[in-house]
Structure 1
């Protein structure tokens, strides 16, 4: 079962996808449109202002956006992850204060937890520190790559290592906190209208009411399945679009591709079913390796799908006009394996556990 975008959003994304990829469409236009269509509310309990449903429903929404624009899906992923962090925080005061503006798209949510996801897997140390100062907390450090840092207003989740010992904590940092410095947008090959930049955090003083999770190692495994499953939605949508383009290409000699297109589509459907089963059962919390393997497999399927699109389209894929959509999807496919945790990082984790994919 797939998710259908509202017609007006689907039409706008289809006409704007290249502009979003190359930065010609203002990033400020993107999140409000996604939020107005209700996409940030999917899978969020109705009691919290969401539309209900499951995490898999949110994955389907991300996949539907990715069929038109991976950059737009990337923004939705980061925003929806932050919404999930608030939906699962024990800090209900923070949740109730921030969630209405986030669900409405008035403020952007940025998932700055790539570093801590790698920290949790033993791949790198934390890049942020926090120390108590009276009743407040003072945060220092840097986040080198964060998406959805909307200039008009954002809140970013960040993991920080306490200077006085104890487990790492997750805190919320706002765009207007003194000491929060946003860089210019990163010079990406594509995905330019995604408000992707770095943050420098210098002596940022926040209250303890900004703590999302006081014990990150205990709290993160519960949100990690959503974090990675929504990334899987990006790959699912892109692969489906390339397979659809490949299947729709006509011309002499293209019939020989029908069988591999169908076979890859069947593989994709099987992985989607496994993703749904793991999310529905909650099995990915205790056994994240199974989810890592699905993420790796989806990255491989994306590359096979765009290769089939190229073969089916032939020379027109290399022409600037007719091949513009394919060229964007080719770049988008190159982005899928490097989203943190990257496929190399996931393979490293699996290899260390004796379960190399």
Structure 2
């Protein structure tokens, strides 16, 4: 359960966070101060304990109030997960505490990498070996949680020559690393989402997360996607809760549909938690892809049901501001990488391969 003070702040600032009228530098410190960045991290490492499933629920709880804040938390918690699964213990010891404290922002930067893993596109950052590490060139066109007060971003990198692609953490402040202005998004504007350009950037070997991207990416993909599902879960739950408040009078005809939506949603949440608790999603990623699609559809259906339950009031600016924000948020869920189209493309490719 979220801290009530944080809940009030998120509710009061949800619209401003979505429209970019709230200082994005405030978001991560508030989430960290409430202990949310450490959920699913062992106390011995500075976390608050629990499981990855608990971290999914935490992101979902934040998404019930603000998808922008939940998106920031997803980026932070996903990067922390990369550190937890990295064999580079020295790097973990160096940066985990400031990540948990919210003093340092963690950006996943692996959207391109997940497309690469599915054969959708090539890696967008290239490396040439040097005596101390690598020289990097390339671009990451869409990265969230690039906090101006300090960030570190994970990237999958193609190695010149015959070397295997690898995954590294790239800290801000290095020569050759340029952050763009925040992207002009339709919503989620206070999420510190921008592009990064790397030009002859010198990266030391002690920032290596894993030497083989083809081994590391499938290992972290269940956490990457599972945590991301928290966005859709929280949005759907909040929309359905709003439906319930409108079920008087003629709107009572929607009661059975509300029950059906809730049962379907929580059934999918149960499947997600079960899969994250074992090796199912590592061995059968298609099962996770289908769940990600289904949960996005749950969010879209819940917001549509909220519109029907609210009626014309939802279309009046004086009354429908929160609904309009959730409508914009629901439009984001299908396109966050990997998008539903990308997931369906991969599922179709796998089905054709199995039939061949």
Residues 149-160 of structure 1 correspond to what in structure 2 (within 5 A)? 149-160=146-157
Partner of 2:201: 204
Residues 1-357 of structure 1 correspond to what in structure 2 (within 5 A)? 4-354=1-351
Change (3 A) 1:355 1:343: farther
Give yes or no for contact 2:247–2:255 (8 Å, CA) kept in 1.
Answer: no
User: What is the root-mean-square deviation in Å for CA atoms of aligned residues?
Assistant: 1.1
Displacement after TM superposition at 1:166 (Å):
2.2
**Cα distance in 1 for residues equivalent to 2:106 and 2:115:** 20
Displacement after TM superposition at 1:48 (Å):
1.5
**Cα distance in 1 for residues equivalent to 2:109 and 2:252:** 46
Displacement after TM superposition at 1:51 (Å):
1.4
State the TM-score, normalizing by the size of structure 2: 0.98
Give yes or no for contact 1:48–1:87 (8 Å, CA) kept in 2.
Answer: no
Displacement after TM superposition at 1:251 (Å):
4.3
Displacement after TM superposition at 1:164 (Å):
2.4
**Cα distance in 2 for residues equivalent to 1:283 and 1:328:** 35
Specify the SS of the correspondent of 1:322. coil
Displacement after TM superposition at 1:137 (Å):
1.0
Deviates more, 1:58-67 or 1:218-227: 218-227
CA-to-partner distance for each residue in 1:285-338, whole Å, 9 max, x for gaps? 111100000000011111110111000000110011210000000000000000
Specify the SS of the correspondent of 1:33. helix
Task: List structure 1 segments (4+ residues) > 6 angstroms apart after TM superposition.
Answer: none
Q: Which runs of 5+ in 2 are unaligned?
A: none
CA-to-partner distance for each residue in 1:19-49, whole Å, 9 max, x for gaps? 0000111000000000111111000122211
User: How many residue pairs align between the two structures?
Assistant: 353
Give yes or no for contact 2:3–2:34 (8 Å, CA) kept in 1.
Answer: yes
State the TM-score, normalizing by the size of structure 1: 0.97
Give yes or no for contact 2:75–2:108 (8 Å, CA) kept in 1.
Answer: yes
Displacement after TM superposition at 1:222 (Å):
1.3
**Cα distance in 1 for residues equivalent to 2:303 and 2:18:** 17
Displacement after TM superposition at 1:352 (Å):
0.4
**Cα distance in 2 for residues equivalent to 1:35 and 1:43:** 13
